[in-house]
């Protein structure tokens, strides 16, 4: 049985290892296939380490193959992120099940809500529109409408992990997928940014690493990951791209920015009128509102920097499958994928640069901050772990 996990591994930690091991226990999986974000992640910021490094972390800790989630989906809202990942899995032709973590730990509540959101009864839409008119964010309006329509406690939808879990179920249902969903109940508080307890969040680990507290994170990550982190030269943050944003805002007509993904309802003007010489995090804190959450704004700003336009998002799905790495003992898995996939399988960028144009551009931007390098998509080899 081939079981998929969608992840960022930003960085890979003991909670991820628990998820992999629990998934193997629940499903008796013969192979674990990870669909992983590339160099930029769903919160709209650079990954703490590049995708090659994070692929190595995954393959050293129980994952058999890593497939890349393209940047336009990896940095999208929860529904787009989940849609892109599930679409890849459907097109792979080799995945039997999808395992994801959730605070809830059971499938049925997600399935019930997914049915409502996928079909949107008229009364549900009316309730949601009335809530949006009060100025609340889209996620808050949706949760409120679900609560009123189904007469259930929707507190569980406040968790980012549960929101993603819901979107995976929605994507599986809307595509009539044969892939079976499993959820593993998460341990620990993944919203806490402090290092405490048995399992901690990736955000807590990143915060400690940025503060130079490498020695404090060792107990929360596998040793192989600690060894890799020890050799990192630099950990980028979204503020490293502030100069890029300033240049774009000065050189691009403001009305053109409305073409960018996640830039909606005049958001380009709010950014333009408040940017001055501010860092990106300072700008976001000034312009955020109930409707425009911090993450929504950070994602929109990243898309401006990446020049990722609304028309660049193919709502029909992903047109290729990019393999970032695999375990040497599982070469047969790559052969099976190549044989059964309904879209091209890419292991060498030079063979398909046209399909990876957005990825090449994003990777150049990522490495320009790290070491001023460009062209790494052409020189980074596929990762093969013993």
Does residue 258 share a domain with residue 135?
no
Domain boundary among 283, 312, 341: 312
* Same domain membership, residue 41 and residue 75: yes
- How far apart are the C-alpha atoms of 274 and 282, rounded to whole Å? 10
Based on the domain organization, do 200 and 264 belong to the same domain?
no
Which residue from 207, 140, 182 is spatially nearest to 1, judged by alpha carbons?
182
Contact, 99 vs 24, CB < 8 A? Answer: no
Distance CA 371, CA 383 (A): 21
Question: Are both 302 and 328 inside the same structural domain?
Answer: no
Q: Which two tokens stand for residue 140?
A: 């808050």
Domain for residue 176, yes or no?
A: no
Same domain, 190 and 149: no
Nearest one of 13, 16, 9, 66 to 223, comparing CA atoms: 13
User: Is 118 found in the same domain as 95?
Assistant: no
Residue 183 has phi, psi (to 5 degrees) of -125, 140
What domain count does the chain have? 3
Q: What angle do CA 315, 320, 324 make, to 5 degrees?
A: 120
Q: DSSP strand E in the chain: where?
A: 2-7, 31-37, 40-41, 45-46, 65-69, 97-102, 180-185, 321-327, 345-346, 383-385
Nearby residues of 223 by Cβ (< 8 Å), 6 or more positions away:
none
94 in the same domain as 14: yes
Asked whether residue 93 falls in the same domain as residue 195, the answer is yes
Centroid of chain to Cα 351: 26
Instruction: Name the residue with tokens 């997928």.
Output: 177
Contact 61, 327 (CB under 8 A): no
Per-residue pLDDT of the chain (386 residues; tens, 9 = 90+): 999 999 999 999 999 999 999 999 999 999 999 999 999 999 999 999 999 999 999 999 999 999 999 999 999 999 999 999 999 999 999 999 999 999 888 999 899 999 999 999 999 999 999 999 998 888 788 889 999 998 888 888 878 889 999 999 999 999 999 999 999 998 766 556 788 778 888 999 999 999 988 889 999 999 999 999 999 989 999 999 999 999 999 998 998 999 999 998 889 999 999 998 899 999 999 999 877 889 999 999 999 999 999 999 988 899 999 999 999 999 999 999 999 999 999 999 988 878 899 999 999 999 999 888 889 999 998 999 98
- Would you say residue 77 lies in a domain? yes
Q: Read off the pTM.
A: 0.93
Q: Helix axis angle, 294-306 relative to 242-251, nearest 10°?
A: 70
Domain housing 133: 108-158
> Are residue 284 and residue 353 in the same domain, yes or no?
no
| 65, two tokens | 């193959």
Contacts of 283 (CB under 8 A, 6+ apart): 271, 274, 275, 301
* Domain endpoint, select from 293, 312, 331: 312
Residues 204 and 55 in one domain: yes
- Whether residue 168 is contained in a domain is answered as no
Whether residues 25 and 153 fall in one domain: no
Burial class (CB in 10 A: 0-12, 13-18, 19+), 312: middle
Residue 229 in domain: yes
Same domain for 217 and 146, yes or no, is: no
Written as six digits, the tokens of 235 are 């950990």
Instruction: Please report, for the domain that includes residue 196, its CATH number.
Output: 3.40.50.620
The answer to whether the beta carbons of residues 306 and 261 sit under 8 Å apart is: no
């Amino acid at each position: 049985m081939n079981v998929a996990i969608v992840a960022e591994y930003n960085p890979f930690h003991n909670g991820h290892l628990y998820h992999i091991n629990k998934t193997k226990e629940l499903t008796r999986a013969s192979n674990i296939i990870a669909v992983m974000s590339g160099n930029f992640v769903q919160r709209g910021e650079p990954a703490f380490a590049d995708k090659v490094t994070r692929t190595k972390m995954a393959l050293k800790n129980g994952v058999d193959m890593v497939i890349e989630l393209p940047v336009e989906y990896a940095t999208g809202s929860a529904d787009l992120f989940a849609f892109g990942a599930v679409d890849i899995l459907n097109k792979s032709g080799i995945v039997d099940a999808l395992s994801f973590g959730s605070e809830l730990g059971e499938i049925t509540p997600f399935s019930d809500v997914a049915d409502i959101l996928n079909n949107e009864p008229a009364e549900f839409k009316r309730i949601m529109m009335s809530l949006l008119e009060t100025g609340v964010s889209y996620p808050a309006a949706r949760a409120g409408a679900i609560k009123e329509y189904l007469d259930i406690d929707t507190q569980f939808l406040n968790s980012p992990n549960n929101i993603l879990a819901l979107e995976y179920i929605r994507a599986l249902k809307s595509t009539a997928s044969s892939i079976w969903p499993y959820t593993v109940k998460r341990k620990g508080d993944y919203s806490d940014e402090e290092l405490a307890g048995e399992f901690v969040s990736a955000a807590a680990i990143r915060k400690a690493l940025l503060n130079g507290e490498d020695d404090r994170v060792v107990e929360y990550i596998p040793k192989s990951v600690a060894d890799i982190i020890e050799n990192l030269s630099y950990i980028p943050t979204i503020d490293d791209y502030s100069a890029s944003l300033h240049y774009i805002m000065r050189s691009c007509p403001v009305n053109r920015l409305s073409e960018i993904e996640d830039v909606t309802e005049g958001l380009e003007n709010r950014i333009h009128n408040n940017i001055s010489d501010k860092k990106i995090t300072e700008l976001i804190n000034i312009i955020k509102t109930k409707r425009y959450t911090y993450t929504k704004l950070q994602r929109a700003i990243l898309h401006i920097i990446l020049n990722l336009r609304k028309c660049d998002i193919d709502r029909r799905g992903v047109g290729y499958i990019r393999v970032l790495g695999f375990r040497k003992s599982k070469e047969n898995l790559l052969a099976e994928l190549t044989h059964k996939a309904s879209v091209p399988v890419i292991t060498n960028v030079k063979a398909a640069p046209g399909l990876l144009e957005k990825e090449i551009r994003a990777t150049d931007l990522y490495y320009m901050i790290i070491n001023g390098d460009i062209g790494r998509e052409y020189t980074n080899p596929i990762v093969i772990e013993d």
